Structure 1
Amino acid sequence: MQAKFLVNAALAAMAAGALAGCAGMAEKGAMATAPADAAPAAYNPVIPVGTGVFAQESTLPFHAPDFTKIKDSDFQPAIEQGIAIKRAEIEAIANDPAAPTFENTIVAMEKSGQMLDRANAVFSAVVGANTNDSLDAIDTATSPQLAALNDSIYLNDKLFARVKALHDAQATLGLTPDQAMVLGNAYDRFVHSGANLDPAAKEQVKAINTRLSSLSTEFSQKLTAGTKDGALVVKDKAALAGLSAAEIAAAAKGGTDRGLAGQYVLPLQNTTQQPALASLSNRATRQALFEKSWNRSERGDANDTRALIQEMAQLRAQKARLLGYPDYASYTMYDQMAKDPATALSFMNGMVPALAAAQTREAAELNKAIRASGGKFDVEPYDWDFYSEKVRKAKYDLDESQIKPYFEITRVLEDGVFYAANQLYGLTFKKRTDIPTYHPDVSVYTVYDQDGSELALFYFDPWKRDNKQGGAWMSNFVEQSKLLGMKPVIYNVENFTKPAAGQPALVSFDDVTTMFHEFGHALHGMLSNQTYPSIAGTNTARDFVEFPSQFNENWATDPKVFASYAKHYQTGKVMPAALMAKIEKARTFNQGYALGETVTAALLDMKWHALPADAPKQDVDAFEKAALAATGLKVDDVPPRYRTSYFRHIWANGYSAAYYAYLWTEMLDHDAFQWFTDHGGLTRANGQRFRDMVLSQGHSQDYAVMYRNFTGRDPSVAPMLKARGLTAPTTD
């Protein structure tokens, strides 16, 4: 698994919602006071009218944001105006004297908040991918307001009464299946948010939500700053032995960019392990880089995140108890495909014996390689990637430096990622230069459907920057909705190492896989075909949303797709079949580590969110140590992919008690790919079936039913374990 995760920032911010008034808006629909004996006036509530660049839809194609007109100073007024408008819209729905109907309550809620959506979508994108001190300050100011708005909606007694009346009478309403899903989701969200609580408990929930929103924002900002500050600075070029000339040049540029001319900077990726650890031959440098990564958020400085985590974990447990759940994991998993923590834990713990055995074998193999090279030490985490790369080269005659020249990033995108989408779904792509972006690194494409019509707009932002959050993600500037007449405007963000000037833009095969992964999320958004925005595209459960993305990774090694993009950047020749065969053969190598670091992180996440409400604040390091020891895995050699203190997924990005979703959806991914394999593989017919039955559906159906409709069966973990090389292949 790569450094990849869905950070649907706009959706996450709206799910965290908020309430505030603001000045500078006009009002519409003001009512005059009628004489007491006059006939009742038509219901005409007062709704403020926004001003500024986000008050109306953009006039650019697809209503894409016009970054030539957007300034940092526009965001906070727009968000606060959008909050006030949405608050007024919600109050108008709640106070409507007419009996509740699906149209005047549920559809009205679906239509509300459009200015806020526009402003928040763009703000979330730039604060994630191109932030600065001004944007961080706005994030700090607005996040509690958004949390308060969310509470003002889902703890509104009058509004809940209308939704409940519709829910209770659902059988008589003649709703379509997607309407029934929207209504059911809305009702469940109200109940889950505390609509049935007494007034005092509601106030407690509101206070917790506001505090959690602020803590989460602060955590994210501290982590971004700590990751930047944690970069390894090297003064002696000799300490970088093992890196390529291009990598050393990039490190030198990093030093210059930070005002450290003549020095070399290795910036940190978001994960525990760092890419350079596979190449650095100087053990002291490897150890220093690993320790910079491991301790990035635990240096006792202004960017230490542990105090924030202590409070968040305790507040989440207290919130769960208020809402009738034993712990936060049980609370947050109510709408997931797995349904409850026991199911997720059983699924993960079932892999531990095979993983532990694989890790023991792999460690022994690495220790043997260390001895063979004259080392007198046992493998440490900072040695693992270096010696596993040596073993991989010896076993499979495979060297990363042999592979990279075949993966030039634009060719991978256009002749690989896009080509696969064309073969499966009939999509075509055209690069355009007339759409402004938030950074020069970003490129934009129009996506055309199989009939030649315009389907979507796609933005691609590949290179790591110090002011960009770690990892990789997809989100929307505009969400697909037939109700609102919107086509999707989608972006993918990655954190690949940018080449030095004059160097080719080559990426690793891991990066290639990440590109296919994130574009799987993009396809989920692009191919959405829903009326209601709340169930469109990637608005699905965490343990389903990663299914289309992980499934899309399979096409990176499909022979037809691979031959289209894996071409030498100088000669244009396709990668030799023998080298491709080595890549395929090596894919199951080191899986005790690769899968183990993810399982360990997911189990650590579950431990944090199994805390009871009466538990005291935890010593973060002591808790983490005990939780990791309980996994039954070789955590001293194979640390978790994310340490507690820099686990952005669970403390800031909505994956609390949901990091297991990557594993769960990997099961779905391999099982679904087995279906493709059994039915002819990469064909338009198979792609159309997947598009029609999964990618277009959003959350319009129950996830288990949707999956069974596509494959004709419940998912099995066997194809996943086989693909990972953790079980012997079966023979027919």
Structure 2
Amino acid sequence: MTDAAATSPNPLLAPTPLPYGLPPYGDIRPEHYLPAFEAAFAEHLDEVARITGAGSEPTFENTIEALERSGALLDRVERAFYTVSSADATDEIQAIEEQLAPLMSAHSDAIQLDSALYERIQTIHDRRDEVDLTPEQRYLVERRHREMSHAGAALDDAAKATLTELNSRLSVLTTTFEKNLLADTNDLAVVFDDVSELDGLTEGEISAAAQAAADRGLDGRYVVTLTLFTGHPYLSSLTNRESRRRLLEASRSRASRGNENDNRATLREISRLRAQRAALLGYDTHAGYITSDETAGSPQAVHALLRRLAVPAAENARREQAALQAVIDGDGESFTLEAHDWAFYTERVRAARYDLDRAALRPWFEAERVLRDGVFEAAHRLYGVTFVERPDLPAYHPDARVFEVFDEDGSAVGLYILDLYTRDTKRGGAWMNSIVDQSHLRGSKPVVVNNLNVPKPAPGTPTLLTLDEVTTLFHEFGHALHGLFATVTYPHFAGTAVFRDFVEFPSQVNEMWIYWPEILDRYARHIETGEPLPAEIVEKLHASETFNQGFATSEYLAAAWLDQAWHSLTAPQAAADLDVAEFEASALADIGLANPAVPTRYSSTYFAHVFSGGYSAGYYSYIWSEVLDADTVEWFGENGGLTRENGDRFRRRLLGVGGSKDPLEAYRDFRGRDADIQPLLKRRGLDG
């Protein structure tokens, strides 16, 4: 720490002067974070000690509610930091994150495993039927008790010491996994020497590649950065087969090349330690431990769903593969379809079968118009909210834009931040997170962030999105609405604080407005002529909705199964020195998805969702939530679609409750019954 930093006030430790609790990122320096965390840890422990040291009988107010009030400073500091460490992870920020990982783990354990605190909560839980609690308060008591029990609060001291060691080591390993992946993803960005190698890309895509090269000091060349998932949007357009091969090969080799960024040993140790922790907590496997506190309830329920879907998905993929090979053969080519050819020839078949070229749609999807006349407009019509840009409010990076959100009556809802573009300091993929959560108890309104990884074109060039990127923006905005609309008393239930296998449901529902006529007509306008997307193209998009779903479903299910396979190992099984490639091949063969032409959406060494994110043994959540999503889309269709009445019902009964009631109970309150799987099977072409 510099002398100046040591003597100047730490902006993280004082209330922010900005509205909505937005951190003053313009004043925050990397050297401020660790001292702020240290102060926040100490304050939180002191607050909890006052709760446990109280001589009075445990009550909801002096224990549960007091616990909800505690940790406000830590909450503020960690949300400010982890927003930056995900979206703008400079070397200095990464070094801080590595130091923080075991400290955060130790602090969490100090609270979650506190015997005195658990005893007080146990007392309140045992007497919950004897006291007058609101439904939210009762559910909070049940969840706090369940979560501390699940974390190991009932273990003896020796077991707790072992558990703390395991958690600390895991926190270091997951941080290492993410750091390695980011470094190798940047190192493996594919450099092309001549623009002819990028034949098939649009002017904007080539501009982005040239800009990415210039940013790396490679003027006159072209750099294509990698996406988080195995494939790449450009694979559908590149006419040069060698360029496609290089791009996919780079993607699939990430963090498995035997260099300092190799994640194989790291993920094996993560798997082993998670299995050991599960055994310590009384579960056969990590998957059993995780699903026991999700809506699924058990890994068996998850496996049954994945196996049910895998068989027809694999059959559909093989039919699609034969159709693609027929196109290759019809061209007089002598090669067999490989994974890097799939997307390119899929577009050929799509063009022939539906007279539809998805790559040619980008001029209709200019990013600013998609945002304002698509994403925001759908939310306005459905929920009555409006978005006003606040360029006077600084975010954590110049590319991140801040919008103030207002309800129909003019009252303030919160802030929405959009960070659209990719950069070397941003982790891959797309996500939503909260910088500030709403809570009546704390008097706070939400500040939510959406991050995407769209290639940034050269200055003066419009940002044209692919249809997949449009879908991603609507999807992540669904998470943002969940974070903005949840209206709860207690911070424990704020925003998207719901079960992992339920959290994707609202975001998937929001994708339905992409093709809704009144919305599509507003945002899908040609960048040069202003003409709407022709009706015949819209009809073809609808007609082709189940096209290539064999591939899409198979690649997703393969990844979900890999996650389950790693986390369904018992402690003795995980202790074996498993070969990662052999393990993957065996797992995919087991579920019938071992098709070399259809690679898994994520291979283990770059499966950030499960080895450095929060989806371990939970990547199944997307398809699990999609059962609810497809059933809800059907409900909207049956009840008039994009209306305020429908929006108000969905907002009040689902989005608005946050995590303050059982999610399946909330779904039944909205839908009037449990979800039906049939709409999902129909959507993905698995019902035939």
TM-score band, normalised by the shorter chain?
over 0.9
Which residue identity does 1:574 align to in structure 2? P
Which residue is 1:297 aligned to? 255
Where does residue 609 of structure 2 map in the other structure?
Answer: 649
Match of 1:238 in 2: 196
Aligned amino acid, residue 676 of structure 2: S
Alignment of 1:48-127 (within 5 A): 52-127=10-85
Q: Spell out, residue by residue over 1:293-349, the C-alpha distance to the aligned partner (whole angstroms, 9 max, x if none).
A: 000111111111111101000000000000000100010112211111111111111
In 1, distance between residues paired with 2:687 and 2:123?
Answer: 52
Within 5 Å, give how 1:132-151 maps onto structure 2: 132-151=90-109
> Residue 7 of structure 1 aligns with which residue?
none
Amino acid of the structure 1 residue aligned with 2:582: A
Q: 1:451 aligns with which of 385, 409, 416?
A: 409
Q: Is the partner of 2:415 in helix, strand or coil?
A: strand
Q: Distance in 1 between matches of 2:356 and 2:460?
A: 27
Q: Does 1:164 align with 2:94?
A: no
Matches within 5 A, 1:318-333: 318-333=276-291
Task: State the distance in 2 between where 1:250 and 1:152 align.
Answer: 47
In structure 1, distance between residues paired with 2:450 and 2:595:
32
Bigger drift between 240-249 and 147-156 goes to 240-249
Give, in whole Å, the separation in 1 of the partners of 2:386 and 2:561: 41
Match of 1:558 in 2: 516
TM-aligned CA deviation for residue 401 of structure 1: 4.1
TM-score, normalised to structure 1, is 0.91
Structure 1 residue aligned with 2:600, among 626, 632, 640? 640
Once the two structures are superposed, residues 159-218 of structure 1 have per-residue CA deviations (whole angstroms, 9 ceiling, x without a partner) of: 111011111111112111101111111111111111111211111100000000000011
Given residue 471 of structure 2, which amino acid in structure 1 is its aligned partner?
Answer: T
| CA distance in 2: counterparts of 1:128 and 1:258, whole angstroms | 21
Match of 1:490 in 2: 448
* SS at 2:389 equivalent: strand
> Are 1:590 and 2:548 counterparts?
yes
1:696 aligned onto 2:641: no
1:700 & 1:328 partners in 2: Cα distance?
26
CA–CA distance in 2 between the matches of 1:513 and 1:249? 23
Distance between the aligned counterparts of 1:139 and 1:459, measured in 2? 23
Aligned residue type for 2:154 = N
The residue type paired with residue 70 of structure 2 is: S
TM-score computed with the length of structure 2 as normaliser: 0.97
For residue 502 of structure 1, report the CA deviation from its aligned partner.
2.4
In 2: Cα distance, 1:147 partner to 1:594 partner: 36
* 2:492 paired residue number: 534
Tell me if the contact between 1:471 and 1:494 (Cα under 8 Å) persists in the aligned partners: yes
Using the TM superposition, give the Cα deviation of residue 56 of structure 1 relative to its aligned residue in structure 2, in angstroms: 2.9
Mark the runs of 5 or more structure 1 residues left unpaired by the alignment: 1-23, 26-49
Query: Do residues 353 (structure 1) and 320 (structure 2) align?
Result: no
Partner residue, 1:547: 505
| 2:112 equivalent in structure 1 | 154
Q: Is the 8 A contact 1:232 1:267 kept in 2?
A: yes
Cα separation, 1, equivalents of 2:37 and 2:605: 30
CA–CA separation in structure 2 for the residues paired with 1:123 and 1:307? 28
Residue-pair matches, total: 681
Q: Does the alignment pair 1:512 with 2:479? A: no
Deviation at 1:634, TM superposition (A): 4.4
Specify every segment of 5 or more residues in structure 2 that has no aligned partner in the other structure, as ranges.
Answer: none
Once the two structures are TM-superposed, the CA of residue 51 in structure 1 deviates from its matched residue by 6.5
Give the equivalent residue in structure 2 for 1:462: 420
Q: Does structure 2 retain, via aligned residues, the 8 Å contact 1:597–1:638? A: yes
1: distance between equivalents of 2:408 and 2:292?
A: 38
Which one is further off, 232-241 or 403-412?
Answer: 232-241
**Contact preservation (8 Å) 1:56, 1:115:** no
Structure 2 distance, partners of 1:675, 1:506, is 32
Measured in 2, the distance between the counterparts of 1:634 and 1:371 equals: 24
CA displacement, residues 683-727 of structure 1 (integer Å, 9 cap, x when unaligned): 110110000100001111112211111111111111112122333
Counterpart in 2 of 1:578? 536
> Deviations along 1:349-403, whole A, 9 cap, x unmatched?
1112211110110000000011112221221111100110111111111123431
Question: Is 2:359–2:466's contact at 8 Å kept on the other side of the alignment?
Answer: no
Conserved 8 A contact 1:356-1:634: no
Q: CA deviation at 1:603?
A: 0.7
Find the aligned partners of 1:100 and 1:365 in 2 and give their Cα distance.
68
**Letter matched to residue 352 of structure 1:** A
Quick check: 1:311–1:617 contact (8 Å CA) kept in 2? no
Q: Contact 2:416–2:448 (CA<8 Å) still a contact in 1?
A: yes
Report if aligned partners of 1:477, 1:491 keep a CA contact under 8 Å in 2.
Answer: yes
Does the CA-based 8 Å contact 2:416-2:449 persist in structure 1? yes
AA of the residue aligned to 1:105 = T
Which one-letter code corresponds to 1:326 in the other structure? Answer: D
| Counterpart code for 1:205 | L
Residue aligning to 2:217: 259
8 Å contact from structure 1 (residues 447, 456) kept in 2: yes
Amino acid aligned to 1:720: L
| 1:474 counterpart (409, 432, 435) | 432
Which of 583, 587, 602 lines up with 1:627 in the alignment? 587
Match of 1:708 in 2: 668
Contact between 1:423 and 1:682, CA under 8 Å: does it hold in 2?
yes
Deviation at 1:655, TM superposition (A): 0.1
2:409 alignment partner AA: D
Task: Give the Cα–Cα distance (whole angstroms) in 1 for the partners of residues 483 and 401 of structure 2.
Answer: 18
Distance in 2 (CA, whole Å) between partners of 1:447 and 1:704 is 29
Contact 1:442 1:461 in 2 (8 A): yes
- Does residue 399 of structure 1 match 2:339? no
Q: Distance in 2 between matches of 1:725 and 1:629?
A: 22
Letter in 2 for 1:61: P
Secondary structure, counterpart of 1:170 in structure 2: coil
Task: Report what 1:28 is aligned to.
Answer: none
| Cα displacement string for residues 614-668 of structure 1 (whole angstroms, at most 9, x for unaligned residues) | 1224222221111111121243111111000000000111100100000011111
Letter in 2 for 1:481: S
Q: Which amino acid aligns with 1:193?
A: A
2:623 is aligned, of 647, 652, 663, to 663
In structure 2, what is the equivalent of residue 717 of structure 1? 677
- 2: CA distance, partners of 1:670 / 1:252: 40
CA distance in 2, matches of 1:605, 1:112: 35
Partner in structure 1 of residue 375 of structure 2: 417
Post-superposition CA distance 1:46-90 (Å, at most 9, x none): xxxx96212233121111111221111111111121111111111
* Alignment partners' CA distance in 2, 1:401 and 1:323: 50
**Cα deviation, residue 540, structure 1:** 0.5
Report % sequence identity: 44
Are the aligned partners of 1:480 and 1:536 in contact in 2 as well (CA < 8 Å)? yes
Q: Return the structure number with greater helix share.
A: 2
Q: CA RMSD in A?
A: 1.4
The question of whether the paired residues in 1 share the 8 Å contact of 2:563 and 2:610 is answered with: yes
Instruction: Report SS of the residue matched to 2:572.
Output: coil
1:39 — aligned with what? Answer: none
Residues 1:674 and 2:634 aligned together: yes
Cα distance in 2 for partners of 1:555, 1:721 equals 20
CA separation in 2, counterparts of 1:440 and 1:76? 24
Partner SS, residue 314 of structure 2 = helix
**For residue 645 of structure 2, what is the aligned residue in structure 1?**
685
Q: Secondary structure at the match of 1:727?
A: coil
1:552: how far off? 0.4
Partner Cα distance (2:684, 2:589) in 1? 24
Q: Is the 8 A contact 1:408 1:507 kept in 2?
A: yes
| Cα distance in 1 for residues equivalent to 2:597 and 2:615 | 25
Report how far residue 238 of structure 1 moved.
Answer: 2.2
User: How far, CA to CA, are the matches of 2:110 and 2:280 in structure 1?
Assistant: 18
